Amino acid sequence: MTLFPIDSIIPQLRTALQRNDMVILSAEPGAGKTTRVPVALLDEPWLGGKKILMLEPRRLAALRSAEYMAEQRGERTGETIGYSIRGESTTTSATRIDVVTEGILTRMVQSDASLEGIGLIIFDEFHERSIHADLGLALVLDIRQHLRRDLKILIMSATIDADAVAGLTDAAEVLRSGGRMYPVGVSYLPLPANERIEATTASAALRAVREQEGDVLVFLPGQREIKNTEQSLLQKDIPPGVQIHTLFGEAPPSRQRAALRPAASGERKIILSTNIAETSLTIDGVRVVVDSGQVRTAVFDPRRGMTGLVTIPISKASAEQRKGRAGRQAEGHCYRLWTETQHALLPDFSRPEILTADLAPLAMELAMWGDPDGRTLKFLDPPPASHLRQAQELLRFLGAVEPNGALTPHGKAMGALPAHPRIAHMLLKAKERGTAGLAALIAALLDERDLLRPATGADIDLGSRITFLQRSGTNTDAAVARIREQARRLCTMVGVRSDAPVLTGEKSARETGILLALAYPDRIAKRKQGEKYQLSGNTVAVLPKESGLFREEYLAVADVDGAGNDVRILLAEPVDVVDLRTVFAEQIVTSERLLWDETAGAVAASVVSTL
């Protein structure tokens, strides 16, 4: 069996876990921690035959690491090692190591606070600091303090402020391991002025093919840049035998497998990827990295109550992670599309998601835990007060919590659904209206980040996507299949038949509008002038000029880009004002206003209804 750098520290790790509540293992990229550590700890006496739960930040990483560990044992997943991701699980009664995506831990904790049968929880790649990982750690620390003194915690990362994490408990030990098995050289290739990132990246990828050996892994901020770079490469003189692959979270599994599969003999690959390939994954054959130095992230504005996607420079820690992908199997090289001076100015670590994200899901989890403000929990970075207040106000408007933060019966039902509180509220209200099937389809569509837009040929009209799905028959497109499967799961969770008839035509469009309004009551839009709409949350939003919805008086807005000065409407559906008055009767306030009418020379009275 191949030896990895992490193997030399395994004896120390076993001892550290024997005598401490929590251990922080800082191991450089390529150390082998993800696939070596869990298996090495299976027979430890302190584990007592209990399970190991290992958290991964992404679905693909969870699946691949479980498959690799099982393969090394000559098994299939579902025997000693299994994985659990949304909608798919291979765990059985025989499973001892369960590799899960981070959000699954929170659901487990809320349903069984004692985490019975689990002896060790591993937070892998913790430096990514997702909101699920931060909340999960805070909950597990609380469980250990009050319910399970025998529960062990292991936090693993290549780049992390280990001492800060250790400060969360009095009984923690920090271990450090070397990592990268082979040296990686670095070249800095700054972006030329006035040149699009896709063109520069394509040129750098071809330069890498000419100058270096092995496959080339290219990091780009998002799908749009991946597709544009792919087009740019196809228009260039690509050497014979070089294949282009794309890798991102929403890509069909067959395309992901093709990107990860070793190149055929005599061929090479250029893999265009988001940061999905930044951690946990070793892609056979990769010896070169081309790093755009950018990442796309969601930033929440509590004043507007909206999230916007922004493209920002990566951190030094992320740059180091990406560079490490080139040195896993042989000497490698990394091309960075920025200068050494710019590199020195990068932040040391990426900003934790809990400081920038929409906190409505977190607020719901805290209410379910019985600590609405999270005051008794140990967060590495506490949630910003203004963000949390905005989230709590939304939960109160949705009827999920009482004024004191306690869950209402409706809130408890919402919390039982693995969905954003807005979507959970919509699903439950739709069940009361007899339209849960349509609501499940809407929820599944919104979860797909509008991947159907190219197929429908529509602009921002959600109804056109619904119609497309209803008419697509046996369409085997991966996105369509995911949407349908997710809609079926949601129907089952809500307690309705997934094969029940769904509204079509005008009835479907009208109900879609009101269901969206139930999910996004702060985004009900009234036309002001031209493409501008006034949202019920006191924000003005802009409709695309080419949109066919610009004549609609009222819209229910499902998706916006809240970054920058202008809020752009990305997905919406017309909504009937009569329906709004009926559904939101309790929230509509009617008042009288007296204004001086210059033309009439008299005081004019008006009655105003406000949501």
Instruction: Give the residue ranges of DSSP H helices in 212-252.
Output: 223-234
> What residue type is 41 in one-letter code?
L
Domain identity same for 168 and 193? no
Distance CA 556, CA 574 (A): 6
Residue 445, in any domain of the structure = yes
Domain identity same for 72 and 145? yes
Write the CB contacts of 458 (distance below 8 Å, at least 6 apart in sequence). Answer: 464, 465, 548
The two three-digit tokens of residue 520, written as one number? 């996004």
Query: Residue 115 in contact with residue 143, Cβ under 8 Å?
Result: yes
The model's confidence at residue 607, banded by pLDDT at 50, 70 and 90, is low
> What residue type is 191 in one-letter code?
L
pLDDT at 30 over 70: yes
Distance CA 449, CA 465 (A): 12
151-155, 280-284, 378-382, 462-466, range with the lowest pLDDT: 280-284
The two three-digit tokens of residue 86, written as one number? 């949304």
pLDDT at 49 over 70: yes
Q: What is the mean pLDDT of the chain?
A: 88
The model's confidence at residue 448, banded by pLDDT at 50, 70 and 90, is confident
Please give the tally of structural domains in the chain.
3
Compute CA distances 317 → 59, 134, 312, 382, 548, whole Å.
Answer: 22, 18, 14, 22, 45
132-136, 310-314, 381-385, 527-531, range with the lowest pLDDT: 527-531
The two three-digit tokens of residue 394, written as one number? 């939304």
Distance CA 39, CA 96 (A): 9
Q: What is the mean pLDDT of residues 359-388?
A: 95
Residue 464, in any domain of the structure = yes
Domain identity same for 160 and 189? no
Measure CA of the first residue to CA of the last residue in the chain; give whole Å: 66
Distance CA 265, CA 586 (A): 68
Q: Which of 177, 199, 227 is the last residue of a domain?
A: 177
The model's confidence at residue 161, banded by pLDDT at 50, 70 and 90, is confident
Domain identity same for 311 and 415? no
> Pick from 461, 454, 483, 486: which is nearest to 470 by CA?
483
Distance CA 30, CA 43 (A): 24
Domain identity same for 543 and 404? yes
Say if residue 86 is exposed, middle or buried (CB neighbours under 10 Å; 0-12, 13-18, 19+).
Answer: middle
pLDDT of residue 177: 83
Say if residue 256 is exposed, middle or buried (CB neighbours under 10 Å; 0-12, 13-18, 19+).
Answer: buried
Query: Residue 531 in contact with residue 549, Cβ under 8 Å?
Result: no
Domain identity same for 325 and 412? no
Residue 73, in any domain of the structure = yes
Characterise 293 by phi-psi region: left (phi > 0), alpha (psi -120 to 50), beta (else).
left
Characterise 457 by phi-psi region: left (phi > 0), alpha (psi -120 to 50), beta (else).
left
The more confident residue out of 576 and 503 is 576
Q: Which of 318, 353, 388 is the last residue of a domain?
A: 353
Range of the domain at 192: 184-353
Q: What is the mean pLDDT of residues 50-70?
A: 93
Distance CA 25, CA 20 (A): 13
> What residue type is 159 in one-letter code?
T
Domain identity same for 268 and 312? yes
pLDDT of residue 301: 80
Pairing label, strands 242-247, 268-273: parallel
Burial 25-54 (b: 16+ CB within 10 A, else e): bbbbbbbbbbbbbbbebbebeebeebbbbb
Digit-coded pLDDT (tens) for 313-363? 999 989 988 998 898 888 999 999 999 999 999 998 889 999 999 999 999
Distance CA 104, CA 86 (A): 8
The model's confidence at residue 480, banded by pLDDT at 50, 70 and 90, is confident
Q: What is the mean pLDDT of residues 599-607?
A: 66
pLDDT of residue 559: 87
CATH number at residue 413: 1.20.120.1080
Write the CB contacts of 491 (distance below 8 Å, at least 6 apart in sequence). Answer: 436, 437, 440, 497, 498, 500
Distance CA 242, CA 269 (A): 5
Domain identity same for 240 and 324? yes
pLDDT at 457 over 50: no
The model's confidence at residue 121, banded by pLDDT at 50, 70 and 90, is very high
Q: Hey, what's the torsion of the CAs at 172, 11, 154, 115, to 10 degrees?
A: -110
The two three-digit tokens of residue 593, written as one number? 């206003």
Residue 577, in any domain of the structure = yes
pLDDT at 371 over 60: yes
CATH number at residue 42: 3.40.50.300
Share of the chain above pLDDT 70, in %: 91
pLDDT at 451 over 60: no
Q: Residue 119 belongs to what H/E stretch?
A: strand 118-123
Q: Please tell me the number of Cα atoms within 13 Å of 582 on its side-chain side.
A: 9
Domain identity same for 257 and 373? no
Say if residue 354 is exposed, middle or buried (CB neighbours under 10 Å; 0-12, 13-18, 19+).
Answer: buried
Domain identity same for 104 and 195? no
The two three-digit tokens of residue 260, written as one number? 């990860």
Query: Residue 249 in contact with residue 261, Cβ under 8 Å?
Result: no
The more confident residue out of 381 and 600 is 381
Residue 401 gets which letter from DSSP?
B
The two three-digit tokens of residue 216, written as one number? 């080339």
> What residue type is 504 in one-letter code?
T
Digit-coded pLDDT (tens) for 205-241? 999 999 999 999 999 999 889 999 999 999 988 899 9
CA angle 493, 494, 497 (to 5 degrees): 90
Query: Residue 418 in contact with residue 492, Cβ under 8 Å?
Result: no
The two three-digit tokens of residue 276, written as one number? 């999905």
The model's confidence at residue 456, banded by pLDDT at 50, 70 and 90, is very low
Q: What is the mean pLDDT of residues 496-521?
A: 84
Distance CA 584, CA 374 (A): 31
The model's confidence at residue 475, banded by pLDDT at 50, 70 and 90, is low
Q: Which of 159, 177, 195 is the last residue of a domain?
A: 177
pLDDT of residue 608: 53
The more confident residue out of 24 and 601 is 24
Whole-angstrom Cα Rg for the chain: 26
Residue 72, in any domain of the structure = yes
Residue 202, in any domain of the structure = yes
Residue 602, in any domain of the structure = no
pLDDT at 455 over 50: no
Domain identity same for 343 and 395? no
Distance CA 303, CA 185 (A): 45
Q: Please tell me the number of Cα atoms within 13 Å of 177 on its side-chain side.
A: 27
Domain identity same for 341 and 460? no
Tokens 């990068």 belong to residue: 346
Residue 607, in any domain of the structure = no
The model's confidence at residue 458, banded by pLDDT at 50, 70 and 90, is very low
